[in-house]
Structure 1
Amino acid sequence: MTKNIAVVAANGKAGRAIVKEAVDRGFDVTAIVRGENGTVAPHALIKDLFDLTSADLAGFDAVVDAFGAWTPESLPQHSTSLRHLSDVLSGTDTRLIVVGGAGSLYLDSAHTVQLSQSEGFPEAFKPLAAAMGKSLAELRERSDVKWTYVSPAADFRADGPRTGEYVLAGEEFTTNADGESAISYADYAVAIVDELSAAPDDAHVMKRISVRW
């Protein structure tokens, strides 16, 4: 059965990559955008994320949240937007797949130290990491939403190639044999669509997963 999904903030770089991967793999995709649909999705809902209602998202098998905010004044929207989508989807069978951040990945098995707290983590990215980490912590409190939070590698490459391959990990920060943590948007999109394609017993519901090359 063809899966019917919506991608919120589909015009962004991550959103466009996810839409393309899903369309190429036979999903019925609706792009939710504030302006003209700039994706290959065959359907579009022109509406602000914060104005979405339960009726807007009814009937989708999954909603992918690709929203991002980067300026100091907009960073709190990582929490408010995710809270709004969670409230809209509360109590439904619709999955919520969240495009997350790497800064909240843990460096130890006790889960006491996050990547964003490590020496050498760029100061410029700490406010963003804190905002996204806060939104994840709040999402963990939700038992009424079938959420999955997907953290990319530390080096998230917008223009990297699509290899179709990646390593699936969990809450802890991992690297390859050369100590590198990287993935392209295209292969991150592959991982997102693989998660959307997973059988119920294999899906990572109410869990955070991470992907890298």
Structure 2
Amino acid sequence: MKTAVIGATGKAGQLIAQELKKRGHHVTAIIRNKSNLTANVDDVIEKNVNDLTATDVMPFQAVINAIGFPPEHSDQHVTVGRHLIAIFSEVKTARLLVVGGAGSLYVDKNHSRMLKDMPSFPDIFKPIAEAQSKNLADLRDVKTFDWTFISPAADFRVDGGRTGTYTKASEELTTNKEGNSYISYADFAIAVADEVEQASVLKGRFTVVGEELQ
């Protein structure tokens, strides 16, 4: 399968690119500066994400948006999200997968409250959570192409080990056997690659949780 990873030099993006490459997919990194690339990929598109066109994404069956922004530039999640929606709406055949956040996960069965709305949610992450929630809301209005929004667990651990397993849940904050909402970047990359191959959630969102290595 021809795949592309936007933000393949980032913490999540490079692991997703590596996981896809390991499975035999043809992987293209879409990045601003190819000198920062460490993942083994087949091709590179060196371009700012907001400069991408429908022609750029047309060759791919699946494109993963794994780009991250610091809190002070959190609004870019909305800007980039809307730009990608615009160009994917022209292509219609390429599927967009978005690495989201845990802040938009629901904390009740009625889906009336999100994690970001809880008093204990860290203030520093609220701008990003709000922006990613808007990105998800924009995607929910899309009817012209297939998309999937994937939220990690609340404790998204870059230094966590690879167990090779994870538990998939719908849109509610979910915990592991130890009662923790946790997933390592490595196991999250496996979940994303699985979804690329299985296309089990179209025009929707799910979350994944994992176990910590003992």
With normalisation by structure 1, the TM-score equals: 0.94
Question: In the TM superposition, what whole-angstrom CA distance separates every residue of 1:72-114 from its partner, at most 9, and x where no partner exists?
Answer: 2x21110110111111111512110000000000011110011
What is the CA-CA distance between 1:145 and the residue it aligns to?
2.3
1-structure distance, mates of 2:70, 2:137: 19
Residue correspondence of structure 1 range 69-108 to structure 2 within 5 A: 69-72=69-72, 74-90=73-89, 91-108=91-108
Residue correspondence of structure 1 range 21-170 to structure 2 within 5 A: 21-36=19-34, 37-72=37-72, 74-90=73-89, 91-170=91-170
Q: CA RMSD in A?
A: 1.1
Number of positions where the alignment pairs a residue of Structure 1 with one of Structure 2: 207
**8 Å contact kept, 2:71–2:127:** no
1-structure distance, mates of 2:85, 2:127: 23
Listed as ranges, the gaps of 5+ residues in structure 1 are none
Question: Counterpart of 1:149 in 2: which secondary structure?
Answer: strand
Question: Counterpart of 1:98 in 2: which secondary structure?
Answer: strand
Please name the residue that 1:4 is paired with.
2
**8 Å contact kept, 2:58–2:93:** no
**8 Å contact kept, 2:6–2:13:** yes
2-structure distance, mates of 1:159, 1:93: 36
Q: Which runs of 4+ in 1 moved over 4 A?
A: none
Say yes or no: does 1:183 pair with 2:183.
yes
Q: Give the structure with the larger helix fraction.
A: 2
With normalisation by structure 2, the TM-score equals: 0.93
What is the CA-CA distance between 1:178 and the residue it aligns to?
2.4
2-structure distance, mates of 1:177, 1:57: 40
1-structure distance, mates of 2:125, 2:133: 12
Percent identity of the aligned residues? 45
